[in-house]
Chains A and B, each alone.
Chain A
Amino acid sequence: MTALHCWVEGIGLWSPQLGDFEALRAVVAGAAPPAPPSRPAATVLPANERRRAPESVLLAVEVAGQAVAMSGYPASTLASVFASAQGDQAITDYMCAILTQTPTELSPTRFHNSVHNAAAGYWTIATECRAPSTAVCARHYSFGAALLEAVSQMMAEQRPILLVCSDTKGSGPLLEVTGCKQPFGCALVLAPQASNASLSRLTLTLAPARPATPLPAPLDEWRDSNPSAQSLSLLALLARGHGRCQLDAAATLGLQIDMENVA
């Protein structure tokens, strides 16, 4: 089986309990870090864009900004993969509701913010990035599938890449089918060669799907509360500094990930 190698150079994280990757390290070490402010700051966006942007975009841009800042790369040089299992659920709820009543009053801004690549669009505009950018999904396999896509692109093109995976909280009648109980976002900057910024080296191997790696409380509960939080299997590994985990990349396809610390 082909093995894929990459170096992790930046990590971003945001949930109602975790304001960044340091907070996850603290949780893994048994501490209780303070909760972040209720809204992701997303300071990469200009103030007027930050006011206009929907929560899904703020979340994705916040974690992307954290990871890129940690990596030290100029954001404008990075290709990007933005993943989200559900897209912007608040906008989907808004649109489906208004379409049943007054469809011609649909808000044009909310419509153009509804595209799955809205976060990728806001990000590339704010960072003046003309590199390739994509937006993907694969149900609750979205993080694994997007990681595979990001590493493939990074290896094939021999350039560093930004991977973002985020989902907001479900709202309205839609919540019953999406089951997203709280927002969660994470981002990684991955590079094909080691550098001074490298934190750890990952080896990815395609493998049959297997049950998810067990996680200790409260991480297990967080992982179940949002499809993008499937990434916690890998993030917990990165926080611990060593080991192996298994992620789903599709219904019948898994990714085995071996990690070694290099920082």
Chain B
Amino acid sequence: MPVSMIPLAITAYTASSAMGRGLAAQLHALGQSSTGLRPNDFSSAPLECWIGRVDGVEDTTLPAALATWECRNNRLAWLGLNQDGFLAHVRNARERYGASRIALLLGTSTASIGATEEAYRRLDADGGFADDMLRPAIHEPHSLSAFVSAALQLEGPCLTVSTACSSSAKVFANAERMIRLGLIDAAVVGGVDSLCDSVLFGFNSLELVSAEPCRPFDAARNGISIGEAAGFALLERIDAAPDAPRLLGYGEASDAYHMSTPHPEGIGAELALRDALQRAGLDASQVDYINLHGTASVKNDEVEMALVNRAFPAITRASSTKGFTGHTLGAAGIIEATIALQAIEHGFIPGNFGGSTPDPSCGAPFAWRNEQQRVDVALSNSFGFGGNNVCLAFAGAGFSA
């Protein structure tokens, strides 16, 4: 039985993806139904697919003091940290609580493996890394968190969660536990994943990549589009910010089924959902909007639509936004959490993008077009390889279940 939790305030958040840099660009793209996907112009060898590439990563430079962390993933992280006044919010929290009382908990699936790929592309004559690539810290999966920790000058607990595509959803749970125990007063959570050959050719090898823009929940969906993104949020106790939106609950569960295929009955996904609702003290009928995992893989969407159909009433609204961003893998949890938070803040349900011929098995909750309506409670689903499932529950300020 999960322990019910005291909600936490989300005092700042930001997102950068193929939809654009920062929350205003994200809301605009969602409102205009304008996808960020483009034909693949990234991989080092040709691969017919569409990608969610963030504009401007190449032109982003790290501050001189952080130059040793230079690589695409950390540049994308820096680009993301510089949106929506996020750096100032963290600085303010650091001044209030002290650097050692703020945890940094980030999710990523591949961190800066793109830099390791580059090192292998240009090994020196002896078969070793070129001098400029001999930076051990960027070839480790903790590269992102270690860089962001240095950039934000935080000295509390610092952990990378890497559970594939649920990574940056799980960090909300890590933060809540540490705050509840009094180990910390605040936490910076989030995640970053950047385009690299490993994921493009890796998902391609599993025949999970579509040659066309991904079509979540479409009858003819045929695979994912891969994207990159950076997103962050600052969590504090609600007495520090009674007017901020809230994390109400979270659920985590394992499928115990298969490394790269979801459980056919969605057992782990449903356990995570029930865990989140129970922890938040919510009934499914109180959920106004669900941002679905909705990758556009045949299996994921089949399992997830069945879960929505059996667990929620017709009045609940549900959609996948991966048609806008592509599947941003380890960053998907935080990006979709910020979309759920914007749905609450703006009373806006983003329509499921890319599903022009809805799968007939999708029930009434599916929102195929943008809708304006009050959103008190929003969920976000994130499921990863290894059968790793997370569901997050958010609400507006002052909401009590």
CB pair B268 A96 closer than 8 Å? no
Contact A174 B116 (CB under 8 A): yes
* C-alpha spacing A97/B118, complex, angstroms: 10
B88 to chain A, nearest CB (A): 22
State which residues 122-181 of A face B: CB under 8 Å: 122, 124-125, 127-139, 141-142, 145-146, 148-149, 152-153, 155-158, 173-174, 176-179
Q: Is A18 an interface residue (CB 8 A)?
A: no
What is the bound-complex CA distance between A253 and B184, given in angstroms? 12
| Interface segment, one of A35-43, A98-106, A212-220 | A98-106
Q: Which residues of B contact A142 (CB under 8 A)?
A: 142
Chain B residues near A129 (CB-CB < 8 A): 254, 256
Cβ of A125 and Cβ of B139 under 8 Å apart? no
A252 near B160: Cβ-Cβ < 8 Å: no
Would you call A135 and B387 a contact (CB within 8 A)?
Answer: no
Known A-B contacts A115-B164, A121-B388; A99 and B120 likewise in contact (beta carbons under 8 Å)? yes
A186 at the interface (CB under 8 A from B): no
B363 within 8 A of A: no
Residues of B within 8 A of A239 (CB): none
Interface size on B, residues (CB 8 A): 75
* Pair B116/A130 contact, Cβ less than 8 Å: no
CB–CB B139/A145 < 8 A: no
* Other-chain residue from A146, A179, A250 in contact with B136 (beta carbon distance below 8 A): A179
Question: Which residues of chain B come closer than 8 Å to A2, judged between CB atoms?
Answer: 181-183
Tell which of B128, B159, B203, B388 touches A145, judged by Cβ atoms closer than 8 Å.
B159
Cβ–Cβ contact B156 & A135, under 8 A: no
Q: How many residues of A contact B (CB 8 A)?
A: 67
Interface membership of B358, Cβ < 8 A:
no
Cα–Cα distance between A125 and B178 once the two chains are bound (Å): 28
B400 at the interface (CB under 8 A from A): no
Provide the bound-state CA to CA distance between A127 and B257, in Å. 10
User: From residue B33, how far is it (CB to closest CB) to chain A in Å?
Assistant: 32
Q: Which of B223-260 contact A (CB under 8 A)?
A: 252-260
Check if A104 sits within 8 Å of B45, measured CB to CB. Answer: yes
CA distance A131 to B181 in the complex (A): 21
Is A96 in contact with B142, judged by CB distance below 8 angstroms? no
Could you tell me the distance in whole angstroms from the C-beta of B388 to the nearest C-beta in chain A? 6
Interface string of B142-154 (1 = CB under 8 A from A): 1001100100000
User: In the complex, A87→B141 CA distance in Å?
Assistant: 7
Please, what's the 1-or-0 string for B295-332, where 1 marks a CB less than 8 Å from any CB in chain A?
00000000000000000000000000000000000000
Closest 3 CB pairs of A and B: A121-B386, A116-B162, A132-B252
5 pairs, CB–CB < 8 Å, chain A vs chain B: A96-B198, A131-B254, A137-B162, A145-B157, A148-B183
Name A residues whose Cβ lies closer than 8 Å to a Cβ of B. 2, 4, 76, 85-87, 92, 95-97, 99-100, 103-104, 106-108, 111-118, 120-122, 124-125, 127-139, 141-142, 145-146, 148-149, 152-153, 155-158, 173-174, 176-179, 206, 249-253
